[in-house]
Structure 1
């Protein structure tokens, strides 16, 4: 495996636990794993303002410290079961959470995060994987809550439209795809056979990846078609490019990236 150094975002949620366990399964071949607790120092009320009583400042500071300590304690209860020994590390870094993770991810092969939707995550440790994929320049792997990290799968899927973002995702994921055994290249919609698909198949073959191509209809839409295919076929990983259009346009109109991340039943590797 060409992945030797993995960063995993750990904010103490069930999704973060799933992401950590998944990362440990990726690292069994000898990779190092760093669990990073990124936390914001932002406060709705500025506790350092002159009008805030010193006792209130102490209470706020202690509450924040307790939250972080509880998260770190949860990590420690999981450490032995991950069986990584001295290849498992833990860090706390303060700052804007997405910016901290984006900056730190640049020194790693891969960033793994949990899918936190609907968990009531404390605001100062909330993670936005799509934003991080845009800012970091590194691949981000999103793991659904409760995903079975030990599931025996050897089949990955690559969403391919021949564009820049999907090409970047392919390049970022090659180390993982070479390990998965076989890959299905998915093209979606009326233009379901973009010109580079034949070259892509040759490229994968020369990397030792057993690949097949499958064209699927964009019904009732690209994102839903991809999700339905994944639910039916149950691959272990979906690789896709993020935000081929602007993030503003996708947020405003409801884009493929956001819908896949919201509803995916399997881990998704996202690159931009």
Structure 2
């Protein structure tokens, strides 16, 4: 994970995103790419009757705010001792992030709770997780970094999404102090948790398989329980869902964990 992409837009989750990105960059000797996107709607200001001067002044105010934000973030970057570059784009935030992810090894975004505009931000992170070519690390807005070398939990159900998420997270799994693979008996599959553990072992990663029955609980509840029991630092999870008319629709497990994540999530679809 040498190229770490992180969106910069001065929201309440930015501090958590940046710290997680710093931690990834240090763990892998990586390079940070900051992506600052200004939506077109930000420039759709006022009415024609307002005249040119007020609109021009408002546009300049937006540009000055962008410059101030860049100056503040660059001051942080200068103290971190990592390589970085800055990309400025206009347009739709999800589209610009997905485009920039073409040459990124991982995208750092936020999980919830998101506070104001919660449903829109959930859709943004989810849309990127489902459609970007690289995995997404989604960190809670109140987190204080990403323990890359901490204990990892892989949620496994034999699906293509789970397999892709595990494969995408392999560089991180190699650094984890321990790896658990959790399977909750829900459906039959030819690709069992022990097969996933064997695959990891061929890549030098030892993993313990944890098999749980649902016991009347939801799959999400079982995952949360195991995260707490094993004191996992982060979770590898397949992103299940699709996007329609820019509103991302998830399966229940992905939606629940992303909306209120107890630990950082490594997501891939």
Query: 1:196 offset after TM fit, Å?
Result: 3.0
Q: How many residue pairs are counted as aligned between the two chains?
A: 265
Unaligned runs of 5+ in 1: none
Which residue in the other structure is 1:140 paired with? 136
Match of 1:165 in 2: 161
Output aligned runs, 1:13-162, within 5 Å.
Answer: 13-28=11-26, 29-43=28-42, 46-47=44-45, 50-84=48-82, 87-115=83-111, 117-120=113-116, 128-149=124-145, 151=147, 153-162=149-158
- Once the two structures are superposed, the pairs formed by residues 118-267 of structure 1 within 5 Å of their partners are 118-120=114-116, 128-149=124-145, 151=147, 153-191=149-187, 195-218=191-214, 219-243=216-240, 245-247=241-243, 255-267=252-264
**Cα separation, 2, equivalents of 1:252 and 1:140:** 17
Distance 1:252 1:121, change over 3 A: closer
Q: TM-score with structure 1 length normalisation?
A: 0.85
1:51 is paired with a residue whose SS is helix
TM-score normalised according to structure 2 size: 0.86
Q: Distance in 1 between matches of 2:137 and 2:105?
A: 11
Q: What are the ranges of 5 or more consecutive residues in structure 2 without an aligned counterpart? A: none
SS of structure 2 residue aligned to 1:118: coil
Shift of 1:83: 2.3
| Structure 1 position 233, deviation (Å) | 2.8
After the TM superposition, which of the residue ranges 234-243 and 127-136 deviates more from structure 2? 127-136
Name whichever of 162-171 and 9-18 sits farther off. Answer: 9-18
2:110 touches 2:141 (CA, 8 Å); kept in 1? yes
